[in-house]
Structure 1
Amino acid sequence: MSLELLGGHLESLGLHTAAVALCAARLVPIAFLCPLLGGQAAPSTVKLALVLSLSLFLHLAAGVKVSVPVEGPGDLMALVLKELAYGTAVGLLAALPFDAARMGGRFIDLFRGASAEASLPAAGSRESATGDVLYQLLVAWVVTGGLFPIVLSGLLRGFGVVPLGAAVPTEAAARQVVMLAGGALATGLAVGAPIAAASMTVDCWVGMASRAAPQMNLQEFGAPLRILGGGALLWLGVGVLCERLLAEVANLEGALWLLGEVAQ
């Protein structure tokens, strides 16, 4: 084998390695933030293996290549940092509907007084029971339903919208992320608002009844009524709450496309 041919093979191998490394740099934050690709529940080895598999698929099968010249390790490191930053923004957007479910559950437990640390103080858990249930239920519905391919295709199509090395941290991209984060917060509050209103209504009626008949000592019934009434209302309305959260997941593809448009 001639030196020229060997040099050509080494240069081609370097381009392949750079493309796979940049794909992995964009996917690593997404895998660690978005529960559909692992999130916080999956082991790190599983998430890294998934990132490597998707990176090889994107480069070898989908033809994703580096769009800018890479002349040395310094240029490659700069591109890796750029892809990490853009991947973090994409991962945050992909995780927002699930974070909204967790925030809504915490809001519900705050008013019901049935959070995990209040009900089970010996367990040492600081997680909201209702928030964890809504979070896991939303993940299960998305994975078993028809939304998972839509979200995954939106994440992978981003490599066509924003080629490797072409992402630019613009003010419009930051504004888009902040706006969608505010929308997720509003969704979480909207999910917990009916149960919060019911809990406040129970407190109001108990307070009025206690003032009308102070000898009956009705304050002791306030907490059980909030917990049981809020739980019953949550049980009856969990379908409506999940539909609201699933609508946020369905809008992810458009949100990711808009982020890619403003990040070029």
Structure 2
Amino acid sequence: MAVPSLNAVFGIDLSALGLSWARMLPTVALVPAFGLRALPGPVRAVLGLMLALCIIPAVGATTRMAPFLVSAHEPWPLLLLENVLRGIPVALAAAIPLWAATMAGNLVDTLRGAHEPWNTDVVAGKASHMGIVFALLSAGIFLQSGGPSRVALALATADFPAHPLLAAMHDLAGGITLAVALAGPLFAAAIVLEVATALVARASFPAQLYVLFPPLRALGLLIVAALVLERIAFVLAHAMR
């Protein structure tokens, strides 16, 4: 049964508002910068509703002109489903750089031998200590650089891709590339430190200095991470544009 368009209720078309909320829902659910499980479900629903208010004119115009998947005369639940599908590619594109930053932070702890996964509400899945730090850094960059406004603009003009699976795979491949770019200097530093400690250990034999090498390697990786943090932030900001 189609839901009629309710106009003149506080000056808002409630039907278009519902479709806008459906298009915004994947972004609020997937993008870590919007809180994930740190915000209760009702709060995230209200947040999506507030953001949906920004794209009501575009969604309403799209619905009247004829949507991509279904006819404008189809039942309202089908229009709701279509707008959820329209929002998924935009949500993935916005969330993947933040996931890549978390992966890079996890690699830092793995390389220094301190990968202890934590379950936290602000990071999707399990993340290490540095993974959480990088996730919070990327979320801050996303919010400070106008990420929500860019997402709203993309959703206002969102169209369902001709090949959605290929588009999703392309976004995921881009996220892996970004994660490698972020973690490349750290991985190179880990190799240099490993070779250096091996050479020192061989030169200092039979002195028992090898017990100092693991903490020194870990300290060296943390120093390198601190030195390249600004560059990592720059790359993340560029990837989120």
Please classify the TM superposition score into its range, dividing by the shorter chain length: 0.7 to 0.9
Instruction: Give the equivalent residue in structure 1 for 2:152.
Output: 156
Classify 1:23/1:34 alpha carbon distance in 2 versus 1 (closer, same or farther; 3 Å).
same
Aligned match of 1:170 in 150, 154, 162?
162
Residue 79 of structure 1 pairs with residue 79 of structure 2: yes
The Cα of 1:216 is off from its aligned counterpart by 1.7
> In structure 2, what is the Cα distance between the partners aligned to 1:111 and 1:159?
39
Aligned match of 2:17 in 17, 20, 24?
20
Q: Structure 2 matches for 1:1-264, cutoff 5 A? A: 11-13=4-6, 16-59=13-56, 62=57, 64-65=59-60, 66-67=63-64, 68=66, 69-71=71-73, 75-117=75-117, 126-143=126-143, 145=144, 147-148=145-146, 151-162=147-158, 167-171=159-163, 173-250=164-241
Classify 1:117/1:176 alpha carbon distance in 2 versus 1 (closer, same or farther; 3 Å).
closer
> In structure 1, what is the Cα distance between the partners aligned to 2:233 and 2:155?
30
SS of aligned partner of 1:115? coil
> In structure 1, what is the Cα distance between the partners aligned to 2:58 and 2:174?
35
Moved more, 29-38 or 97-106: 29-38
CA contact (8 A) 2:90 2:154 kept: no
CA contact (8 A) 1:112 1:196 kept: no
> In structure 1, what is the Cα distance between the partners aligned to 2:58 and 2:86?
20
Amino acid in structure 2 at the alignment position of 1:78: L
| Structure with bigger gyration radius | 1
Classify 1:44/1:95 alpha carbon distance in 2 versus 1 (closer, same or farther; 3 Å).
same
SS of aligned partner of 2:38? coil
Aligned-pair identity (%): 25
Classify 1:212/1:158 alpha carbon distance in 2 versus 1 (closer, same or farther; 3 Å).
closer
> In structure 2, what is the Cα distance between the partners aligned to 1:63 and 1:178?
27
CA contact (8 A) 1:113 1:226 kept: no
CA contact (8 A) 2:89 2:167 kept: no
Higher helix share: 1
The Cα of 1:205 is off from its aligned counterpart by 2.3
Moved more, 152-161 or 228-237: 152-161
CA contact (8 A) 2:105 2:128 kept: yes
The Cα of 1:161 is off from its aligned counterpart by 2.1
Q: What 5-or-longer segments of structure 2 have no aligned partner?
A: 119-124
Classify 1:56/1:203 alpha carbon distance in 2 versus 1 (closer, same or farther; 3 Å).
closer
Residues paired across the two proteins, number: 222
CA contact (8 A) 2:201 2:210 kept: yes
> In structure 1, what is the Cα distance between the partners aligned to 2:240 and 2:35?
16
Instruction: Give the equivalent residue in structure 1 for 2:122.
Output: none
Q: What 5-or-longer segments of structure 1 have no aligned partner?
A: 1-9, 119-124, 251-264
Classify 1:63/1:198 alpha carbon distance in 2 versus 1 (closer, same or farther; 3 Å).
closer
CA contact (8 A) 2:30 2:36 kept: yes
